[in-house]
Chain A
Amino acid sequence: MKNIKITIKKELRAIVRDKKSLLMMALTPIFIPIFIFLMTYIYDTMVNSEEKIYNVGINYDASSIEEELFKANNLVPTEYKTFAEMEEAYNNEDIVAYITKDDNNYTIYTNNTSDDGSYAGMYITNYLESYNNYLGQNYLTANNIDSSYVYNNITYDIVEIKGNSFIETEISNIAIIFTIMAMTLSAIYTATDLTAGEKERGTLETLLTYPIKSSELILGKFLAIVISTLITLIISLILMILSFNIVQNNFTVLENSSLNLSITTILLTVVILFTYSFFISGLCISIASFAKTYKEAQSTLTPVSLIICIPMFLQLLNFKLHGYFSFIPILNHSFVINDIFMGNYNSYNIIITALSSIIYSLIFIWIIVKEYKSEKILFNSN
């Protein structure tokens, strides 16, 4: 145990004194507030931007009520004498859609595959439906019939149910993915440096002459990597909580959101990410130990940093964690934390995620302790 402690101390000193390791461990979490601010700003701008006005062409004299309906539907009509003129205006992008009128028959010309065309088409339809209703009501009134019997048979109200908005979900997703990514990068870099790096620098041979078992040596290295990922986790969580507080108080889009993390949320998140740090440290050290050189270890570990993006894509596809998927590491960590953040977590998933991570970590520890006795691993010899 004493030798493990000495090794942890030795490795942590090496990590802290190596600028690159320190950068990976402490600076990667800085991307978390950057992305939280950036995403909140983009959503806030989208939600609070003034509604867009659409220029449309018409070939008829609009009545005063039609003028009002155009205005109410964000449409600015321009009158053209001929159909060809409207077509030309459309091709010149002066208008995004145009309407022709033949007696009481209106035709809408619009390109629904473009954003502007689709929105303009929707607003034109609204304007025509409203105008049709107006004409119907006028006809009924002129014939002494109460129009409310025809047009107001039912009434309805909308009550807002409190829940997580799409924006909240997206922002917390990004924060979680980046925390996992920061921890993963910290584990990859540190594991590479402490195993393949030490082998390449030639200091491993010296270390092996000390009265220390290879199992104590590799366990010390493993725990030093765990500690470095936990430091990254703490920095990430602090930055995440601070960023959530700042964006909630400064962007109207997140007013009344539930991004203020409760103690329970933070504790459950720490538990899950604590088990993740053991999992990822075990995975990285067991891969890096087999590498002959620093470069080889980095190349082998690069796919790990890419795998962590998979949960992000699955979340975009509305994937839900269930069944055997709860046993898939990284995927389960990401989804479980997201559920915790959103306040609708499943205790079964939390237990499965934590337990499976511990089991995977124990398997990795067993592998590295077993393999680190091998001369093939230690000296790259056969």
Chain B
Amino acid sequence: MLSVNNVSKKFVKPVSKGQKKSFYADKDISFEVKDGEILGILGPNGAGKTTLLRMIAGIMKTTEGRIEIDELNYQNNEIEIKKRIAFLTGNTKLYKDISPYELLKMTGEYYDMNLSTIEKRITELTDKFKMKSFLHQKISSLSTGQTQKVAIARCIIHDPKYYILDEPTSGLDIISSKTILDIIKEEKKNGKCILYSTHYMEEAENICDRVVLLNHGKIIMIGTPLEIKKKTNTTNLRDAFFCLTEDL
């Protein structure tokens, strides 16, 4: 189980010469994600989704609060937690001068997998994502769809238990988006715990078990899509979001 307890993140930004202003990108965020559950993090640009997911993925520190994964926290078990998670963003950049094979092998090595396991896993993923034709080509020569397949394969090579996905379908065509959504559904069936951030409300409504609606770094509502629609007396999450934010 993944739990986020009263997490806040404060940044300081320069406003004018010599003057700085602090602000919260995320304020007092709490929720839990159970095994086999997809939790959607929804909100407009600047709502604090990316910062929140970066903190959960361990690449940013929380200013306040605590994140626990399988009852482990980043203060004491950073490496162990990172071995259990996968982090994928819509604008994940890959090394251009290496091939998908080299990237997957290197990633496997970082995750402390032995060579035979890495080779076996690369074969599985190559078949799964139909990457055989471009497995040894330089990543710089691949199409956007092929690159995204490589990015996903890189992300799941170590068979993680937790998926932290930050707008993974952003800017992709429907075929590439479908590949990602299919993986998410499949991994949910395998009992994986998935955090899925998007600003496509319809997409979230289709695949998420529960959603967290974020605005200006704060949770404005949390629940299943049905509960949220019922509470806001709306027919879809988009209208629910507008209904909840018009009073703010």
Q: Which A residues fall within an 8 A CB radius of B? A: 2-3, 6, 9-10, 13-14, 17-18, 201-203, 205-206, 208-213, 375, 378-379, 381-382
Contact = CB atoms under 8 A, between A and B. Distances in A.
Contacts of B58: 209
B94 A206 contact: yes
A375 B97 contact: no
18 contacts: A2-B109, A6-B106, A6-B110, A10-B95, A13-B102, A14-B97, A201-B93, A202-B91, A205-B59, A206-B154, A209-B57, A210-B111, A211-B80, A211-B111, A213-B79, A375-B60, A382-B11, A382-B14
A203 B94 contact: yes
Contacts of A17: 97-98
- Top-3 shortest CB links A-B: A202-B93, A211-B82, A209-B87
B52 to A, nearest CB: 14
Given A17-B97, A375-B60, A375-B61, A210 B13 contact: no
A52 to B, nearest CB: 59
Interface in B17-70: 20, 57-61
A212 B110 contact: yes
Contacts of A378: 59
A210 B107 contact: yes
Nearest to B86: A209
The size bracket of the interface on B is 35 or more
Given A2-B112, A209-B59, A211-B111, A14 B106 contact: no
Most chain B CB within a 10 A radius of its CB, from A208, A209, A213: A209
B109 A18 contact: no
B13 A382 contact: yes
Interface in B76-101: 78-80, 82-83, 85-87, 89, 91-98
Contact of B79 (A9, A202, A211, A381): A211
A238 B21 CA distance: 57
Nearest to B82: A211
Nearest to A18: B97
B174 interface: no
B12 interface: yes
B61 A3 contact: no
Contacts of B96: 201
Most chain A CB within a 10 A radius of its CB, from B12, B58, B85, B97: B97
Contacts of B80: 211
A22 to B, nearest CB: 11
Nearest to B107: A210
Given A203-B93, A211-B111, A382 B59 contact: no
Given A381-B11, A382-B12, A382-B13, A210 B97 contact: no
Contacts of A379: 60
- Interface SS majority for chain B: mixed
Contacts of A3: 110
B34 to A, nearest CB: 22
Contacts of B78: 211, 213
Most chain A CB within a 10 A radius of its CB, from B12, B93, B96: B93
A205 to B, nearest CB: 6
A209 B82 contact: yes
Contacts of B106: 6, 9-10
Nearest to A382: B12
A226 B135 CA distance: 32
A250 B161 CA distance: 70
B121 to A, nearest CB: 15
B100 to A, nearest CB: 14
A209 B93 contact: no
Given A6-B110, A13-B102, A201-B93, 20 more contacts: A2-B109, A6-B109, A9-B106, A10-B95, A13-B98, A14-B98, A17-B98, A203-B95, A205-B93, A206-B87, A209-B82, A209-B86, A211-B78, A211-B82, A213-B78, A213-B79, A381-B11, A382-B11, A382-B12, A382-B20
Interface in B153-167: 154
A377 to B, nearest CB: 13
A312 B112 CA distance: 49
B60 A206 contact: no
Contacts of A210: 82, 107, 110-111
B96 to A, nearest CB: 8
Contacts of A201: 93, 96
B63 to A, nearest CB: 11
Nearest to A200: B93
A132 B91 CA distance: 93
Interface in B83-140: 83, 85-87, 89, 91-98, 102, 106-107, 109-112
Contacts of A203: 93-95
A378 B60 CA distance: 9
Contact of A14 (B20, B61, B95): B95
Contacts of A212: 79, 82, 110
A373 to B, nearest CB: 9
B11 A211 contact: no
Contacts of B93: 201-203, 205-206
Contacts of A14: 95, 97-98
Nearest to A379: B60
A375 B63 CA distance: 12
B197 to A, nearest CB: 15
Contacts of B92: 202, 205-206
